[in-house]
A = this chain, B = another copy of it.
């Protein structure tokens, strides 16, 4: 039987790319020299450098990442972890825009971005070991809750980590967050400045620092204005539209006389709008409304929603640079960075 007759096994198409060895041979130098050129070492003569660079260009050589990271024990890549429970939020600009910033910040440093969307709880539990074993150089962690222990486990494993938001006041790990408290304060001050006095708030889940901070800001603004804080004007939501509706309904029941609402997220505000409408209140005529996030829904809701903007892309970039610092020099990165928020005034308040 001639070899041509037997059925060809699906031979693995491996288009071999040129190796560092090939470059060295072509340039007429040793491997070490090529490596030095690639890594920008100064101790290479101009002659050799030129020869190597020419060979690289001619062969279209690009170093093999796996080989390099095996030798260096670095991967030049970081993981961005988004817990699945939160992935509903993925539909909002929040994550997307942070990711955009992160990507920009990383790629300028030649780092790769590994996107890790975790499934169920158990998967999330295995994550620490997994991430350490993959030898990503660092981890960016989104949407951490107060009781989350993943960050600590990563710290134990000496994996540089930066959080989006902190778990609480005592956060020891590097993190980046918006000035939630200040933003909320701006929002409520704006409502008060509009002459409103019965200002309610719909909070986020209070096991998240951002939600607590926004509630604190609400209290701050009332205190600043000498308006007493009435507990029955505070209703708990969960950052979802449904939660916003339920909270708004509850607030209307408790205090039919309320004349303003600060919702700790636009999505909850959108739920509140529906409920207010159902109750026959006009916005902003009867009830003024301010949201938080300045997300895409804020612009498209009717009436367009006054909202607190956080600089998401910049937060992403900052996270990236904090992480890069920490990777380059452990224990160096700043602990917490707070970025300013601003009030975007539209028609709802």
Contact = CB atoms under 8 A, between A and B. Distances in A.
A180 B198 CA distance: 49
Given A87-B100, A91-B93, A270-B300, A65 B13 contact: no
A14 interface: yes
What is the total number of copies of this protein in its complex?
A: 2
A157 B16 CA distance: 10
Contacts of A130: 62
Given A90-B96, A112-B114, A114-B113, A107 B119 contact: yes
Contacts of A195: none
A283 to B, nearest CB: 11
Interface string A59-92: 0101111110110010101001000000100111
Interface residues of A, number: 55
A330 interface: yes
A15 B157 contact: yes
Interface stretch (A41-49, A131-139, A206-214, A221-229): A131-139
Interface string A1-43: 0000000001011110100000000000000000000000000
Contacts of A133: 17, 62-65
A158 B66 CA distance: 19
Interface string A119-152: 1000000000110111100000000000000000
B92 A100 contact: no
A91 B87 contact: no
A135 B10 contact: no
Contacts of A95: 96
A65 B134 contact: yes
A197 B96 CA distance: 40
A194 B342 CA distance: 45
Contact of A115 (B65, B115, B119, B158): B115
Contact of A90 (B65, B66, B100, B104): B100
Nearest to A16: B73
B65 A135 contact: yes
A194 to B, nearest CB: 22
A70 B70 contact: yes
Nearest to A95: B96
9 contacts: A64-B135, A65-B133, A66-B69, A66-B135, A104-B119, A107-B117, A114-B115, A300-B301, A302-B302
Interface of A: 10, 12-15, 17, 60, 62-67, 69-70, 73, 75, 77, 80, 87, 90-93, 95-97, 99-100, 103-104, 107, 112-117, 119, 129-130, 132-135, 157-158, 270, 296-297, 300-302, 329-330
Given A80-B115, A113-B114, A113-B117, 8 more contacts: A13-B330, A64-B135, A65-B133, A65-B135, A66-B69, A70-B70, A104-B119, A112-B114
